[in-house]
Each structure stands twice: as structure tokens, then as C-alpha cells.
Amino acid sequence: MALVRKEFLQLRRDRRTLGLIVGMPVVLLLVFGYAASFDVKHIRAELVAHDSPVLRRTLALGGAFTVASAVAPDVAAAREDLKRGTTLVAVLVDAQGRPVGALVDGSQLLAASTALRELQRLSAGANSVRPLPILTLYNPGLRSADYMVPGLIGFLLVQVGVMITALGVVRERERGTLEQLMITPLSRLELMLGKIIPYLAIAFLDLVLILAVGLLVFSVPLRGSVPLLLVLTALFLASTLAIGLLVSTVAQNQQQALQTAMFIIIPQILLSGFVFPLASIPWGVRWISYALPLTYFLPIVRGIFLKGSTIADLWLQVSVLAGMAVFFVALATSRFSKQLG
Amino acid sequence: MAEILLSGLRKRLGGAEVLHGVNLEVAAGDLVGLVGPDGAGKTTLLRCIAGLYRPDGGTVEPGNEGQLRLGFAQQGFHLYAELTVAENIAFLGAVYGLDRESLAARAEELLAFAGLGAHRDRPAGELSGGMQQKLTLVCSLLHGPAILLLDEPTTGVDPLSRREFWELIERLHLDGATILLASAYFDEVERCERVVYLDEGRVVAQGTPEQLRGEHASLEAAFLATMA
């Protein structure tokens, strides 16, 4: 009984841990409740060749699709839009305003499955003589592995970047060895880089392992440039490692570091589009998605793997990710002090 | 010439003022003992001198700018328990910018000086408390600092190791190092040339052990008499 009382006393004094223990389930419940939805709505679609107000209304019926106001001039332009990710579905329309075919971006597994189902329903409802020809691009068989393995790279790198870095620094602080380093002539930047570079190397080793397993065991296609993948992964890692360092500046001990890291990692899994498509996440929590580096890295990694995307296709995500990397590195540097107080 | 110079040093920790305008001067080559009860502010004062704490008032020399001139053996064990004695020395030597040859020579010299030569391949975490303190001292001396700060270096160390440790300190002093040593034990600081008594963040008295002892048999007896 004395031990139980002592544990409660310790918990009561450690407000931060207590806050995380009590607050995290509530936050996760809210996030899960809102985000965990496989019902994809408002899939981005565009018409190709001709406009058709009737078809627009039909596609938008029930909220399955959100149709862009602009019409792609031809199939080549529609393919470009699909590759860039500005649309997930392109419906080819004839001069009479009837759908004569569709292209679907298969790299977005759940959205693509829903789109295919809705398009087939539309085709059946139109009482056409023949079903609407639909071509699924980038992941024609809608293989789960092709969708999940590139995403896993992002997920695992978040784990290594945030959790392992935070724990590494906090462990050093807890053992008192960080104090020893603080009295050396090492600059703050050297101290930070010295802690980050080993984990960067580990993260790249992880990346190579995942790539090898993905390509050799799961036969996931890698259609884009490997150097581009590595460079953009390094950019992503810069933000995750900086977040890890930030966690280490707020956590007093390894338990707090672990809980804070989990608090950051779990939303990245649920809200970044790793499992649930962004389109299915309500705006009440989707704004969180846009603050997460993984949200921008997933289209990059899936794009390079499945679509053979180039920097020209990914400039928006790369720009945001670069901005985030600069922001988080600057924030971590300003908070990471070489003094105890 | 003063190697350590504190003028009106103030430091707050956790909302409370720990040092209340401390003035202190340690000349080059001096061996000064800083004594006081637990919580007197000895560690805070040494950490301010080493640049680990930013003063809230007053000035500190050398402070944050003098880390190359300063060796600080902190209270407790702050080295890497998983690394061997030699690996800890190699790591810190590299951090201080020593090249391979200079580091090897310096490490040999210091290991022999501290009597740790036979233990170079043992993980630091497996050393006895006394040996860990010696290793801490060795690591703080690697870059040949002019000033040495020692924070309760013999706490928890057996009497034999304590005596050996003091022999090392006296040899360093004879070699010309400026040493400021914090201790809670009066008998230890009696070995110093000058003693500074710190209580509740203030310098209460300072002078040679003889001056402070006066007619009493020991420093401790003198201070107990003052307190009574």
C-alpha cells in the first residue's frame, strides 16, 4: 500500500508525465474518432476533353467526387495532372457530354478503390451498352504492398527520427554525460550535429533495408530516381530529427521523451495519409495533417516509387517540406542550449 | 594575476536565489578550498565559473568563454559507463581537439599519473568509485587546463583512494595549476593554501587555514564555535 501511495505521490509531482498519461488517450480518442474512416469522400476528379454540367452533378452526387472547374484539354494533360497528384480521377467526356472512359490514380489505394466502385456504379446506372472503360494507373492491381511499403519508409523514418533521437539526447542528459559535453569547447551546432548524424546514418540504413525488402520480397516497383528519393528522404529526415531534438529539449527524462514522441508519432500515422486518405479526414482535424512533415513526404515517396515522379511533379511538397525542415531545425537550435540554466 | 574572478555573482535556480552577490578572486597557481554545508551553493558557484550556468547578476571569469583554459571534474560520475577508460579518454581528447599522437602521449602520462594504466581496457562503469573519480580527474586534465575546478572529488571514496587523490591534487598544484576545490569536509580544505567558507550563497569568511583556525584545534572546531 505504501508503494502504491508513493507511486501516486511521484506521479502527482511529475505534472508533465501525468498530463501526457491523462491527456494522450483523450486526444487519441478524438483523433481516432474523426480520422479513422475508410469512407473516402470528395475524391478530386476532373473532366477531360468536354465539359458536362450533368456529369458534374452526377459525379458530385452523394459527395463521392469533387470535380475541378477546369477541364483538361486531352488525355495527355489529364495524365500529367494525375502524375502531379492534382487530381485522382480523370473522366473522358465526349461531345454529347457522356463519359466514355476514366483514368484513376491507383497509387492512392483507398481513394482509388472508392473511385472505381463509384465509377462502375455510375456506368451501371447510365444503362450503357458497355461498361465504362477504366484504366487504373501506377498501381493497376491495387496491390496493398505497393501502397504500404513506400508509406512505411516514411513511418519508420519518423519513428527513428523523433523517438530514437529524443531518447538518445535525454538519456545523455539523465546520465549526466551531457553536462560533461557542455563544458567542452564543442559548439552548440557541433553538439547537435554530433547527436543527429549517427541517427541519420541509422535511418539511412533502415531506408536501405526497407528498400531492399520492398523491392526483393514484395516486388514493389521503383519507377523513379533513387538519388532523388535519397535526397528528398534526407530533407524529410532533417525535419524529423529536428523534431526529435525539440522533444529532447522539453522532456526531463526518458519516460517523458517516450510519451511526447508517441504523442507526435501517432498523429503522423493516423492523419498524414499513411493509412487513411486525407480526403476522408474531416477539416476539424485535417488542419493538423497539414502541419505534419509525413503528410508531404508520403506523396513524394509514393510518387517516386509508383509514378516515377520527378522534382517538377513534387515541387509543392518539396517546398513545404524544405520550409518545415528549416523551421524545425531553427527552433531546435534555438531551444537546444549548451547551458543548464 | 587572478585566474578566477567573481564580482557580485548572483544566481537564481527554481525561483530561489542560490548565490547572493559572491565576490571571489583566485590567483594563478593558488590552491583554494571552497567549503560549506550541503546546499550552500558550492556546486552552483563552480558551474557558473565553468559556464554551465548563466549568472543572473554580476560578472564571472572565465565563465562560458574560457572552456579551453578550464578543467572541471564535476560531482558524481559524468563519463560514459559503457566505454572503456581508454575510449572515454580518446573521445574527450578528440573533443578538445588533440591530435592522435599528442592524445596518446597525454593519455599515457595521465593514466600513469592517476595509477589507472592497468585499467585502460575496463568499462568505466565497472570501476570502483575512487577509480571513477580519478578517471574524471584525468579527463578534465587532458587538454592541459590552467584552471582546475573540482567539485567534491572525494565524496564516497574510501580513505586510501582519498589519500591517493589528494597526492594527485598536490602534484598538480606543485606543477602550477590554479585549483578551486569544493568540499563539505573541513579536514580536506585544510590542505589548501586558502579557504573560502560559503554559507547560504554568501562568502562568510576567507583566509589561510591558520588564520581561520585561530586558537581552535581545527577549522571545523573554529567554524562550529563561530556558529554557536
Per the structure block, which three cell numbers stand in for A22? 491523462
Mutation pick from A13, A183, A188 vs chain B, by most beta carbons of B within 10 Å, is A183
* Cα–Cα distance, A304 to A318 (Å, whole number): 12
Q: Nearest-CA residue of chain A relative to B83?
A: A177
Place of cell 512505411: A152
Distance from CA of A175 to the nearest CA of B (A): 7
Q: Do B169 and B203 share a structural domain?
A: yes
Span B75-120, pLDDT tens digits:
889 999 999 999 999 999 999 999 999 999 999 999 998 889 999 9
| Local confidence band at A129 (pLDDT 50, 70, 90 cut-offs) | low
B-chain residues within 8 Å CB-CB of A182? 52
- Identify the sign of the CA torsion A124, A128, A131, A132: negative
Distance from CA of B81 to the nearest CA of A (A): 9
Q: Do B152 and B63 share a structural domain?
A: yes
Q: Do B102 and B124 share a structural domain?
A: yes
pLDDT at A48: 96
Q: Is A312 exposed, middle or buried (0-12, 13-18, 19+ CB in 10 A)?
A: exposed
Q: Do B149 and B65 share a structural domain?
A: yes
Q: Do B164 and B60 share a structural domain?
A: yes
Q: Nearest-CA residue of chain A relative to B149?
A: A183
Q: How many CA atoms lie within 13 A of B162 on its CB side?
A: 13
Interchain proximity B52–A340, CB inside 8 Å: yes
A-chain residues within 8 Å CB-CB of B72? 183
Beta strands in B15-156 (DSSP E): 16-27, 31-35, 57-61, 70-73, 147-151
E strand or H helix at B204, and its extent? strand B202-207
Interchain proximity A184–B96, CB inside 8 Å: yes
Q: Nearest-CA residue of chain B relative to A194?
A: B95
Domain final position from B108, B138, B168: B138
Interchain proximity A339–B67, CB inside 8 Å: no
User: What one-letter code names the amino acid at A91?
Assistant: V
Can you give the CATH number for the domain in which B11 is found?
Answer: 3.40.50.300
Q: Do B113 and B98 share a structural domain?
A: yes
Go through chain B and tell me how many residues it has.
Answer: 228
**Helix (H/G/I), strand (E/B), else coil: A48:** strand
- DSSP 8-class letter at A174: H
Go through chain A and tell me how many residues it has.
Answer: 341
User: What one-letter code names the amino acid at A331?
Assistant: L
Interchain proximity A176–B13, CB inside 8 Å: no
| Local confidence band at A36 (pLDDT 50, 70, 90 cut-offs) | low
User: pLDDT at residue A20 above 80?
Assistant: no
Q: Do B39 and B8 share a structural domain?
A: yes
Q: Do B221 and B150 share a structural domain?
A: yes
Interchain proximity B96–A185, CB inside 8 Å: yes
Q: Do B58 and B153 share a structural domain?
A: yes
Domain final position from B138, B154, B181: B138
Span B169-193, pLDDT tens digits:
999 999 999 999 999 888 889 999 9
Q: Do B167 and B133 share a structural domain?
A: no
Q: Nearest-CA residue of chain B relative to A337?
A: B52
Question: Containing domain of residue B100, as a range?
Answer: 75-138
* Cα–Cα distance, A88 to A45 (Å, whole number): 6
In order, the DSSP letters of B69-106 are TEEEE-SS--S-TTSBHHHHHHHHHHHTT--HHHHHHH
Average pLDDT over residues B124-144: 92
B-chain residues within 8 Å CB-CB of A186? 95
Q: Do B211 and B160 share a structural domain?
A: yes
- How are the residues of chain A apportioned to helix, strand and coil, as percentages rounded to the nearest 5? 70, 10, 25
Span A241-299, pLDDT tens digits:
889 988 988 888 888 888 888 888 888 888 898 888 887 788 888 888 999 999 999 99
Instruction: Using CB atoms, pick whichever of A180, A186, A341 lies closest to residue B13.
Output: A341
Q: Beta B16-27 vs B2-13: how paired, if at all?
A: antiparallel
Distance from CA of A9 to the nearest CA of B (A): 20
A-chain residues within 8 Å CB-CB of B139? 180
Measured CA to CA in angstroms, residue A279 lies from A58, A85, A292, A307 at distances of 19, 13, 16, 20
Domain final position from B98, B115, B138: B138
* Cα–Cα distance, B212 to B37 (Å, whole number): 17
* Cα–Cα distance, A81 to A89 (Å, whole number): 9
* Cα–Cα distance, A138 to A148 (Å, whole number): 14
**Helix (H/G/I), strand (E/B), else coil: A14:** coil
* Number of domains composing chain B: 2
Interface contacts (A, B; CB < 8 Å): 47
Per the structure block, which three cell numbers stand in for B99? 591530435
Interchain proximity A185–B97, CB inside 8 Å: yes
pLDDT at A278: 83
Interchain proximity B78–A180, CB inside 8 Å: yes
Q: Do B154 and B127 share a structural domain?
A: no
Phi, psi angles (nearest 5°) of residue B121: -100, 10
Interchain proximity B92–A176, CB inside 8 Å: no
Span A168-196, pLDDT tens digits:
889 888 888 988 888 888 888 888 888 88
